[in-house]
Structure 1
Amino acid sequence: MPYENLADRTAVITGAASGMGAATARLLAAQGVRVALLARRAERLEELAAKITADGGRALAVAADVTDQASVDAAADRVHAAFGPVDLVVNAAGVMLPNPVEAGRADEWQRMLDTNVSGALRVIRAFTADLVAAAADGRTADLVNISSIGAHITFPNYAVYGATKAALTYLSASLRTELGPRDVRVTNIEPGLTDSELAGHVDNAELSGQLDGMFEALGGLSSDEIADLIAYTTSRARHINLRQLIVLPTRQA
């Protein structure tokens, strides 16, 4: 699929050590985008950056924890020092820890809130000025948030995860009212069943088995397919904003 208007752009991608984040980094880099890879696992980032560089791309590995403001600030400084201003931000970092609310897993609730909501906000805060400046200069500027179909569809035992994703979906819509008039595009993507490391975070054997059964019955999307959607969206002419994208396996209701 042809992607236009991507070459020579500069992207920050969170959650880049695996899954959708890593796949997006590979694809954007192949299109000539300078990619700053943010995640906690430094070794995984270095491996990905080395592969992208070996394939002729430009990548910077930046170990960062989106749940920590100082870490995000330091990461932003490194990105700016290496690549200059950013014009594309992909918030792909996320964690899914399903359990019944009555189990009272407050540690899991806080981790999901800190990563899925506050983490995205910290990254937005760090790079919004870059996006606004790029748009004011006549260039394309994009903020892409990876939410979930769980923002709209309720699943038993996923109440807190779904609530964090609903918050991110609402945040994306609200940010369009602030950034859209300044020519910064905001896109919210809500995948359904997708093969990523999210499922590996589930420590409830019964719920893990249910997930496996859903994949067997319905099939799942690949991280590369989500990356393709992100590349397509951000490569449109700058006056076109695909603001809300729900993508599901065909069999998923």
Structure 2
Amino acid sequence: MSYENLTGRTAVVTGAASGIGEAVAVLLAERGARVALLARREQRLEEVAAKITAGGGSALAVVADVTDDASVAAAVARIHEAYGPVDLVVNNAGVMLGNPVEAGRLDEWQRMIDTNVTGVLRVIRAFTGDLVAAAGEGRTADLVDISSVGAHLAFPNYAVYGATKAAVTHLSQCLRTEFGPRDVRVTNVEPGFVESELRLHTDNAEVSGQVDGMLEAVGTLAAEELADVVAYAVSRPRHVNLRQIMAMPTRQA
């Protein structure tokens, strides 16, 4: 893909300790952006940040939990102190828990809603001022929400997860009506099967086995391939918004 250099931009990536988030953070840094890495696992964050700095990039590891208001507020303060305002936000933190609805796992439902929906909103609230100000100054400003093909395609035992991702997709669409007129781009990326830790979150062995079977039959994208999509979208000229991108293995229906 063809890129524009991201030098001079300041990015925040949530869920940056592994998988898609890690890959996005690494690639944005390679393209020249200063990147604040947000996640709960300090050691993993430090490892990712070290990998970026060893490659000549700029990275800031910030331990934060998107389900906690105070944690997000503290993260914002640290980022602003170190880097100043940001102009690129990648909402990637999420959790995927699979069980039939009849199992009644209210604990899992609440965790997915808190992380995948309310957590996304917390991060948007935290950085809206930065994005609007950057765009107002004539600079490129991007909000990228990582959703899922589960927002559109139905998978057994993942009804609540799919519902949370449908919420993210629709939220992104609605936000374009608020942010677009102020020149802030909103891009919704919907990955299909991607090799990540998400599928390891489920505590139901039967459901996990079903997912493993699908992945074996269809294959997966690498996290780096999803990062490539994100980096391409945010490197377009500021008047071009790649509003919604669904990326999946060719064999996935």
TM-score range (shorter-chain normalised) is: over 0.9
For residues 26-53 of structure 1, give each alpha carbon's deviation from its aligned partner in whole angstroms, at most 9, with x where no partner exists.
0010111000000000110011111111
Q: Contact conserved, 2:147 with 2:191, CA < 8 A, in 1?
A: yes
Q: Contact conserved, 1:147 with 1:169, CA < 8 A, in 2?
A: yes
Instruction: Name the structure 2 match of 1:184.
Output: 184
- Partner amino acid for 2:205? A
Tell me the secondary structure at the aligned position of residue 113 of structure 1: helix
Tell me the secondary structure at the aligned position of residue 187 of structure 1: strand
Deviation at 1:195, TM superposition (A): 0.5
Instruction: Name the structure 2 match of 1:63.
Output: 63
Instruction: Name the structure 1 match of 2:40.
Output: 40
Distance 1:155 1:55 in 2: 39
Q: Contact conserved, 1:14 with 1:90, CA < 8 A, in 2?
A: yes
1:131 equivalent to 2:128? Answer: no
Q: Contact conserved, 1:88 with 1:142, CA < 8 A, in 2?
A: yes
Distance 1:81 1:2 in 2: 33
Q: Contact conserved, 2:5 with 2:31, CA < 8 A, in 1?
A: no
Tell me the secondary structure at the aligned position of residue 12 of structure 2: strand
Instruction: Name the structure 1 match of 2:98.
Output: 98
Instruction: Name the structure 2 match of 1:241.
Output: 241
For residues 170-204 of structure 1, give each alpha carbon's deviation from its aligned partner in whole angstroms, at most 9, with x where no partner exists.
00000000000000000001111110110110111
For residues 120-199 of structure 1, what are the structure 2 equivalents within 5 Å? Answer: 120-199=120-199
Deviation at 1:5, TM superposition (A): 4.2
Tell me the secondary structure at the aligned position of residue 249 of structure 1: coil
Tell me the secondary structure at the aligned position of residue 153 of structure 1: coil
Distance 2:118 2:234 in 1: 24
Distance 1:148 1:159 in 2: 13
Tell me the secondary structure at the aligned position of residue 7 of structure 1: coil
- Structure 1 residue ranges without an equivalent (≥5): none
1:202 equivalent to 2:202? Answer: yes
Identity of aligned residues (%): 73
The CA RMSD measured in Å over matched residues stands at 0.7
- Structure 2 residue ranges without an equivalent (≥5): none
For residues 61-103 of structure 1, give each alpha carbon's deviation from its aligned partner in whole angstroms, at most 9, with x where no partner exists.
0000000011000000000000001000000100000101110
Distance 1:105 1:232 in 2: 38
- Partner amino acid for 2:228? D
1:88 equivalent to 2:94? Answer: no
Deviation at 1:2, TM superposition (A): 3.5
TM-score (norm 1): 0.99
Consecutive aligned runs of 4 or more in structure 1 exceeding 4 Å deviation: none
Distance 1:249 1:99 in 2: 24
Distance 2:211 2:176 in 1: 33
Q: Contact conserved, 1:5 with 1:237, CA < 8 A, in 2?
A: no
Tell me the secondary structure at the aligned position of residue 236 of structure 2: coil
Distance 2:227 2:197 in 1: 15
Distance 1:42 1:66 in 2: 14
- Report the count of equivalent residues: 253
1:9 equivalent to 2:29? Answer: no
Instruction: Name the structure 2 match of 1:108.
Output: 108
Tell me the secondary structure at the aligned position of residue 62 of structure 1: strand
Distance 1:132 1:31 in 2: 23
Distance 1:2 1:233 in 2: 10
Tell me the secondary structure at the aligned position of residue 144 of structure 2: strand
Deviation at 1:166, TM superposition (A): 0.4
Distance 1:2 1:241 in 2: 16
Distance 1:52 1:236 in 2: 23
Q: Identify the range of structure 1 (2-11 vs 45-54) with the bigger mean alpha-carbon deviation.
A: 2-11
Deviation at 1:210, TM superposition (A): 1.1
Q: Contact conserved, 1:39 with 1:63, CA < 8 A, in 2?
A: yes
